[in-house]
Structure 1
C-alpha cells in the first residue's frame, strides 16, 4: 500500500509543476498582449504606423535612400539677380524660392511655411519692365487700389476692379461696390469677366477696422482660392497692406504699423502656401520707421496716397515681377533684356 502512495505523490507533484508552468506561460502571454495593445494604441493616437513599412524612415535615424524622394530638378537662369525655375512645392528651409517659378507652385499646407517675416517670402527685385506691362494687368482691392485707376502710369492703362470701403467677405458675397468712377456694380460679377495676364490683389485696411484679424484672414483665404479657381494659370500677386502714418495708427489702433506688419506676415504665409506670389509694397512706401513716407501722404487721411506715392508703387511693381515667357516682352533692364 505504501509503495502505491509514493508514485501517486510523485505524479501529483508533476501535475502541479506542469500546471504552474502553464499558468506562468499564460501570464507572460497576457502581459505581452497587454503591452502590445498599449503600444499600438499610443502609435495610433500619434498617427504613426503600428508596424514598420518597408522604405520608411525609422524613428530617430537618418532617412534611408529608398524612402527619400528625389529632389525636384531646377533650371538655372542667367546670373545677376535673375530668377530660377523650381519645380514642386516651396520648402520651409528656403522660403524665398517660392517666388521664382514660371507658374504658380503646387498648393501646400499653410503649416509648411514657417518664415516669420513677410520680407523673406516676397518677390525680390528682378530687372525692370516697361509700363506697357500694365495693359493686361488687373488690380483687385479697395479704395487704395482705386488709385491705380486715377494716377499715372497706370491710369487709362491697367484694369482696376477696386471698390470703395470693401473687404474680402463682401466680394465673396457679390455685394454691390463703388468703382473709381463712382458707378456701382456687383463686385464678383465685375471681377470674374476680366481676362488678365497678371493679377494684383490688396485688401485689409477696411477689414482690420471692422473685423477680427482671424475673420479677415479666413475671408481673404477663401477669396484667394476663388481667384485661383477662376483665373487658373494666371500669376496672382498678393500685395502687403500698405503703411499708414504714425498719427493714423494712434487714431485707429488696428492700422498701427506694428500691427499691420504682423498681419502682413500672415498674408505672406497665406499667399505662398497657396502657390501665389507675395509683393512687399511696404518696401517702396514706408520710411525708416515703418510709417507711410511723408511725401507720399494724400490730403484726406494718413492711409491714402498722392500721385507721387502711386508712381513709386507702380515703379516697384515693374521691378519686382516674376520672369515668364509672357513678361519677357516688356523687359527693358536686367538679365533678360
Structure 2
C-alpha cells in the first residue's frame, strides 16, 4: 500500500540583506536619530528666529508670574473671608450701637443741612417750619428706634461776609417806619444803589397787614404792600416796630401782627429774599423818660422772637441792633438824634456799611476792590468762559 504523501508547505522566506556582490557592499543599517555619530542636519537659526524664541520664552515666564500672583491674591481673599466668618460680629464691624440709658434707643449723630440744597435759607424747602427732631436721612426713622444726639441749629443771624458795593441794592427795596424813610431823597438821601424806599412815618406791622394808606416822603400817600407787589424786588430789607413798642404791655399782639406781616409779604413776593433787621434800641435817657417799652431786656426778647420767625419762614435775620447798641443794650449816643431814637447821617452811613458786609455769598456779587472775594474784570471774564 503506497505511503501517503504530505502536501507541500510553502516555505517562509527570510528577509534578505541587500548585497551587491559585484561591488562588494551591503546596505548599512539606518543610523539612529539621536546617534552621536550622526551630525544634525538642522540648519542654524537666523537672528529673527532666535529673537522669536526669546520672546516666546519671556511670554511663558510672564504667564507663570501672573498665574502665581493671581493664585496668591485668591488665597489671601479666601483666608480673610474665613477669618471674618470665624470672628465675633462685634470684631467684624457689625456691632450695633449702644442703647441710651435714658431713652432705650440707639444714639446717633445725624447732622443735617440748613436751608435748601443751594444753601439759600429763603428757598421753598426752608420756608416751612422745620422740626429738627423728626427729619433726617431716610434710613433713620422712628420705626428703627433712632434718636439724635446732635441736631443742626438754624444760623443765629446772617454773619459778616465780604463787602459789596451799593449797586448790590439796585434790585432791592426797604420797608419800614420813619427810620427807613431817612433813606429817601427828601430826607437824608442816603446812597443805597437806587433801591426802592418804602419808608412811612408812624407805621407798624399792623399798618402793612391791614393795607392802611401811609405817606412816603418822596411819593406821598400809598399802600406799601401794593407798591411792593407791583415792584417785585429781588430783595426786601425790613425794619419796623419801634412805634408799636414805645409803650409796654402789647408784646403778644405785636408779635402776632409781625408774623402775619411776614406771611403777607411772603405770599405777595414769592421770589423775593426777605432780610429782617432787628429793631433798634433807644438811648438810655430816652428809655427812662419817654420810651420804657424800648428797654434793653424787653427789646432783646422781642428781637429773639422775630429771629425765630425768620428761621421758621426762611428769612435772613440781621442783628442790626447789636451794631448800634452799647454794652448795656442802649442806642449809642454817637449815632442818635436828640430824640434818642432816630439816627444821624453818620448812623445811616454805618447802617449802609453794615448791610454791605452782611450779604449771602455769591460769585456775582459786586464786591469792592481790595475786599474779600473781590474779583477783577479779567478774572470774571475767565470765570464767565468756564462752562
TM-score normalised per structure 1:
0.66
Residue aligning to 2:209 = 172
1:276 to partner: Cα distance: 0.6
Residue aligning to 2:352 = 314
- d(CA) in 1 for partners of 2:221, 2:351: 26
Residue aligning to 1:323 = 361
- d(CA) in 1 for partners of 2:177, 2:199: 5
Whether contact under 8 Å (2:367, 2:373) holds in the other structure is no
The reply on whether 1:212 has 2:250 as its aligned counterpart is: yes
| Alignment equivalent of 1:287, drawn from 311, 315, 326 | 326
Q: What whole-Å deviation, never above 9, does each CA across 1:6-58 have from its counterpart, x for those lacking one?
A: xxxxxxxxxxxxxxxxxxxxxxxxxxxxxxxxxxxxxxxxxxxxxxxxxxx99
Residue aligning to 2:295 = 256
User: Higher relative contact order at CA 8 Å, sep ≥6: structure 1 or structure 2?
Assistant: 1
1:295 to partner: Cα distance: 1.5
The reply on whether 1:181 has 2:218 as its aligned counterpart is: yes
C-alpha spacing 1:110/1:248, structure 2 compared with 1 (3 Å): farther
1:152 to partner: Cα distance: 5.3
How big is the alpha-carbon RMSD for the aligned residues of Structure 1 and Structure 2?
3.1
1:111 to partner: Cα distance: 7.5
Whether contact under 8 Å (1:102, 1:323) holds in the other structure is no
- Larger displacement relative to structure 2 (139-148 or 184-193): 184-193
Q: What whole-Å deviation, never above 9, does each CA across 1:106-162 have from its counterpart, x for those lacking one?
A: 23448769xxxxx96111100100011121111011111112223354367221112
Whether contact under 8 Å (1:297, 1:303) holds in the other structure is yes
TM-score normalised per structure 2:
0.58
Which 5+ residue runs of structure 1 have no aligned equivalent?
1-56, 75-84, 89-98, 114-118
1:71 to partner: Cα distance: 5.7
Q: What whole-Å deviation, never above 9, does each CA across 1:245-284 have from its counterpart, x for those lacking one?
A: 0011112211122211111111111111111110011122
Residue aligning to 1:242 = 280
Query: What SS does the aligned partner of 2:328 have?
Result: coil
Residue aligning to 1:125 = 160
Higher share of residues assigned helix: 1
How do 1:126-165 residues align onto structure 2 when only pairs under 5 Å count?
126-149=161-184, 150-151=187-188, 153-154=190-191, 157-165=194-202
Equivalences, count: 249
Residue aligning to 2:84 = none
Q: What whole-Å deviation, never above 9, does each CA across 1:152-189 have from its counterpart, x for those lacking one?
A: 54367221112110111121111110102371112322
1:309 to partner: Cα distance: 0.2
C-alpha spacing 1:164/1:290, structure 2 compared with 1 (3 Å): same
